């Protein structure tokens, strides 16, 4: 249940968005009449200056005004164009995760509280923060290792950010529940489930031990790869509120002139970036889901170094096979196969006609084959595919949407390095190898091996399954004879929940009324 505080925060969100004229960025064609009326009313509350500012970016500016928690929420929603729409996702993608630094004394206290040792005992030198984001900030430092001085980067959690986010996510849950109730056509997108994903993702990002583990896992996966690596983690100086890692000396990928001056081949870098991302996705099923230019460096040896692994994505074998078969189907113009893959995976309900779905897929694929290879975008192809699947009731697949969004960013970085970069030619060695290894004869052997493992697990669990079945059968028989009954504790809990629901509803109405009176008084 939502507390009165959630309603207050919701009203504050609405007020800030209205003042920045951010509601004007919301497409109104699918809104019900009442929502369109509220949208027009919100336009009257906008600052005069905001009405004349560039429309794109209004929402991002409003979110930045709301504070660090909302910046993180906005960045997450920018990865979900299926939920907020392509225009709003593009607007939110302009959010700059650059915040004011917090005092060094607070960073020292966080490190000492997390690691149980003084900063002076852990580091030979510990300097002022060089960069700060919504969740953490980074300090340069020096440690002694085997008698030698070694530079490291120390990432420290922002004080109080967990408590602020816990309060703000409650308002987000309130919004998602209202969205499901008043905008029925959005239920397919499962907004409450999306909010749960946001909560879980951000909780993971706020435990820096998990970011360290992600760096370690990707480091192991790419140990034998050429052209890509991640910083090494110093586990001795890593805890829930702090992660210490190798210092990266290199050129940011956003500095094109700097890359040229350092003698790096931009086309080679673009090729290495795309191939590395696809290798992580298809081979490992684990990828860096925030690979924008600010998180990518090129070291002196010409290797791409990815940092800031707070957001990662995972794909199971089923999703990887789905992705590879879709790409292969579009390349070979086998649209019926692409359609069949959707039905086999259970992504499109079986009551739809496969031939009609294949026709819709053809409408995406044929225009692509008429374009030069260097202008074809895999990310755009997947975007169009997800738009078409909406017509056939395909349920939102968060892992596939995150993949598509990351692909948009990675392709954007590659095309910044080389505007005429041929994405398909660069991708073929990785995608082709995966298809040959996993969609040919080797797939049969792999499936048989997985099937045998599954059968062994079922055989091991057979005694327990039999015992549970017997108990369940006995309980069913008892209910059939005596009827379904609630114990006193269950009945009391239901009564309390109903009373709490009624009381919360009354409180919420009074809170909203009070806030509206206050706003009207302010505007008078």
pLDDT in tens, 210-246: 999 999 999 999 999 989 999 999 999 999 999 999 9
Query: What integer pLDDT is reported at residue 270 of this predicted model?
Result: 92
| Cα dihedral 229, 132, 398, 384 sign | negative
Of 4, 190, 183, nearest to 80 (Cα)? 190
How far apart (Å, rounded) are the C-alpha atoms in residues 68 and 50? 22
Rounded to a whole number of angstroms, the distance between the first and last alpha carbons of the chain is 34
Is 290 a residue of the active site? yes
Band the pLDDT of 321: cuts 50, 70, 90. confident
Place of tokens 């790409």: 327
Query: What integer pLDDT is reported at residue 179 of this predicted model?
Result: 77
**167-181 residue pLDDT tens:** 888 888 888 888 777
**What are the Cα distances from residue 29, in Å, to 33, 35, 39, 82?**
10, 11, 12, 16
How far apart (Å, rounded) are the C-alpha atoms in residues 96 and 131? 12
For the CA atoms of 104, 107, 108, 109, the dihedral, rounded to the nearest 10 degrees, stands at 120
| Cα dihedral 23, 26, 28, 30 sign | negative
Residue 18 has pLDDT above 90, yes or no: no
Range with the poorest average pLDDT among 326-330, 342-346, 432-436, 500-504: 500-504
**53-109 residue pLDDT tens:** 555 567 777 787 787 777 877 777 776 666 666 677 777 776 766 778 899 999 999
**94-108 residue pLDDT tens:** 676 677 889 999 999
How far apart (Å, rounded) are the C-alpha atoms in residues 23 and 87? 12
370 CB burial (10 A radius; 0-12, 13-18, 19+): exposed
How far apart (Å, rounded) are the C-alpha atoms in residues 328 and 271? 19
How far apart (Å, rounded) are the C-alpha atoms in residues 521 and 471? 65
Whole-prediction pTM: 0.71
The H or E element that residue 229 is part of is strand 228-229
| Other residues' Cβ atoms within 10 Å of the Cβ of residue 479 | 11
Residue 2 has pLDDT above 60, yes or no: no
Band the pLDDT of 304: cuts 50, 70, 90. very high
User: Mean of the pLDDT values across residues 39-51?
Assistant: 62
Query: What integer pLDDT is reported at residue 31 of this predicted model?
Result: 63
Q: What is the CA radius of gyration of the chain?
A: 26
Question: Coil, strand or helix: which one is 26?
Answer: coil
Active-site residue among 82, 97, 234, 290? 290
Kindly report the length of the chain. Answer: 524
**375-415 residue pLDDT tens:** 667 767 777 777 677 677 776 676 777 787 788 788 888 88
Q: What is the DSSP string of 294-346?
A: GGEEEETTS-EEE---SSEEE--HHHHHHHHHHHHHHHHT-HHHHHHHHHHTT
How far apart (Å, rounded) are the C-alpha atoms in residues 18 and 38? 10
Query: What integer pLDDT is reported at residue 396 of this predicted model?
Result: 64
**What are the Cα distances from residue 79, in Å, to 39, 195, 402, 437?**
24, 13, 6, 31
User: Phi, psi at residue 271, to the nearest 5°?
Assistant: -65, -45
304-306 vs 228-229, strand pairing mode:
parallel
């Amino acid at each position: 249940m939502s507390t009165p505080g959630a309603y207050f925060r919701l009203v504050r969100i609405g007020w800030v968005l209205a003042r920045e004229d951010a509601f004007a960025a919301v497409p109104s064609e699918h809104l019900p009449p009442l929502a369109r009326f509220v949208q027009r009313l919100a336009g009257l509350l906008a600052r005069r200056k905001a009405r004349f500012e560039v429309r794109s970016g209004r929402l991002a500016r409003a979110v930045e005004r709301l504070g660090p928690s909302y910046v993180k929420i906005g960045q997450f929603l920018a990865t979900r164009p299926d939920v907020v729409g392509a225009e709003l996702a593009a607007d939110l993608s302009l959010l700059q995760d650059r915040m004011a630094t917090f005092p060094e004394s607070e960073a020292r206290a966080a490190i000492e509280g997390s690691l149980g040792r003084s900063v002076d005992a852990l580091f030979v030198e510990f300097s002022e923060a060089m960069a700060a984001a919504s969740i953490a900030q980074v300090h340069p430092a020096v440690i002694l290792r085997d008698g030698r001085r070694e530079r490291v980067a120390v990432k420290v959690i922002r004080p109080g950010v967990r408590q602020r986010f816990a309060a703000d996510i409650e308002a987000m849950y309130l919004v998602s529940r209202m969205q499901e109730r008043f905008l029925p056509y959005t239920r397919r997108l499962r907004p409450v489930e999306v909010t749960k994903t946001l909560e879980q993702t951000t909780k993971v990002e706020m435990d820096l031990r998990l970011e360290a583990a992600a760096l370690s896992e990707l480091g192991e996966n790419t140990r034998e790869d050429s052209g890509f690596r991640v910083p090494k983690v110093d586990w001795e100086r890593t805890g829930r509120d702090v992660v210490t890692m190798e210092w990266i000396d290199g050129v940011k990928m956003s500095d094109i002139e700097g890359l040229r001056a350092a003698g790096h081949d931009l086309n080679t870098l673009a090729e290495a970036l795309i191939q590395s991302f696809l290798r992580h996705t298809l081979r490992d099923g684990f990828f860096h889901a925030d690979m924008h230019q600010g998180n990518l460096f090129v070291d002196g040896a010409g290797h791409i170094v990815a940092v800031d692994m707070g957001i990662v994505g995972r794909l199971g074998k089923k999703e990887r096979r789905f992705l590879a078969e879709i790409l292969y189907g579009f390349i070979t113009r086998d649209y019926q196969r692409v359609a069949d893959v959707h039905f086999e995976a259970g992504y499109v309900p079986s009551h739809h006609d496969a031939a009609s779905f294949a026709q819709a897929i053809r409408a995406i694929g044929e225009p692509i084959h008429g374009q030069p290879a260097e202008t074809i975008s895999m990310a755009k192809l997947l975007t169009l595919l997800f738009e078409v699947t909406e017509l056939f009731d395909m349920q939102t697949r968060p892992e596939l949407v995150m993949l598509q969004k990351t692909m948009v960013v990675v392709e954007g970085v590659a095309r910044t390095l080389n505007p005429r970069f041929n994405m398909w030619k660069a991708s073929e060695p990785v995608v082709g190898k995966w298809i040959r290894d996993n969609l040919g004869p080797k797939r049969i052997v792999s499936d048989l091996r997985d099937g045998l493992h599954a059968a062994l697990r079922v055989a091991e669990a057979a005694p327990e399954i039999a015992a549970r079945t017997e108990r369940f059968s006995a309980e069913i028989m008892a209910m059939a004879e005596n009827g379904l009954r609630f114990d006193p504790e269950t009945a009391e809990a239901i009564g309390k929940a109903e009373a709490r629901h009624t009381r919360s509803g009354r409180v919420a109405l009074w809170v909203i009324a009070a806030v509206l009176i206050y706003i009207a008084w302010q505007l008078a």
